[in-house]
Amino acid sequence: MNIRPLGRVDYAPTYDAMAAFTAERGMDTPDELWVCEHPPVFTQGLAGREDHLLSPGDIPVVKTNRGGQVTYHGPGQVVCYPLVDLQRAGYYVKEYVYRIEEAVIRTLAHLGVTGHRVAGAPGIYVRLDDPSGHAVLAQRPQRRPEGSPAPQPDFSGLGKIAALGIKVSRHCTYHGVALNVAMDLEPFLRINPCGYAGLRTVDLSTIGVAVSWDEAAQVLSQQLGALLSP
């Protein structure tokens, strides 16, 4: 996988470039991982509802073709866009999402933080009262009887530290994952993050982890490169 550090780039042209790369790639095009941060922007997924945009104010809103609801990108957040041919890699979308989440969990572990999955809610979460504790979450994904409804997400005692939103076209992925490092979290109060009213969003700085953007980006890039390999 070719890792491309883009620096700080505007969201809309990056989105257009991802879509163009995916549309134009061939069977032999190497996979890439684009690593960047964005100026302040709200992005709305295909399932996005206008009522989840509470008061965007002067921050632009960009509608996209990724899955999910509304989220925020801004300085101090590591954004990674894996451009992967899943057919060539040999795994399906569900496994792809799992591998991205696992890369975030391992990145957090490298920094002394325990990341968690929550049943019914993609992304990675941390315990607000004990970010480094290893106790298993009651809200974790668990096997359920076939045909039973998906559980309603329970965010009690948790903060969301990484958001995930993807698009797959002709077996090829774009969009990706955002890890909050040290950012202004106020814009998250202007939305229902990922469509959940009252969901608290945190960053590494908030939970007491002092790490540079560059270090967090390097570790996450390495983990994604390893875990998304065929």
Is residue 137 included in any domain, yes or no? Answer: no
Question: For tokens 């933080």, what's the residue?
Answer: 113
Residue-wise pLDDT tens digits, 85-96: 999 999 999 999
**How much is the pLDDT for 47?**
83
Mean pLDDT of the chain: 95
Residue-wise pLDDT tens digits, 114-141: 999 999 899 999 999 999 999 999 999 9
The domain total for the chain is: 1
For residue 198, pLDDT beyond 90: no
Is residue 82 included in any domain, yes or no? Answer: yes
Sign of CA dihedral 36, 122, 23, 28: positive
**How much is the pLDDT for 177?**
98
Q: Are strands 41-44 and 61-63 parallel, antiparallel or unpaired?
A: parallel
- In the residue annotation, 36 being an active-site residue is answered as no
Task: Enumerate the H helices of the chain as residue ranges.
Answer: 11-24, 86-89, 93-110, 213-227
Residue-wise pLDDT tens digits, 145-193: 888 887 889 999 999 999 999 999 999 999 999 999 999 999 999 999 9
Is residue 193 included in any domain, yes or no? Answer: yes
Q: Cβ distance 106 to 207 under 8 Å? A: no
End-to-end CA distance of the chain: 10
CATH number of the domain to which 47 belongs? 3.30.930.10
For residue 8, pLDDT beyond 90: yes
Q: Which residues pair with 80 in a beta bridge?
A: 35, 177
User: In terms of residue numbers, what domain contains 12?
Assistant: 2-114+165-197+212-227
Catalytic residue among 36, 80, 172, 194: 194
Residue-wise pLDDT tens digits, 38-78: 999 999 999 888 889 999 999 999 999 999 899 999 999 99
Is residue 29 included in any domain, yes or no? Answer: yes
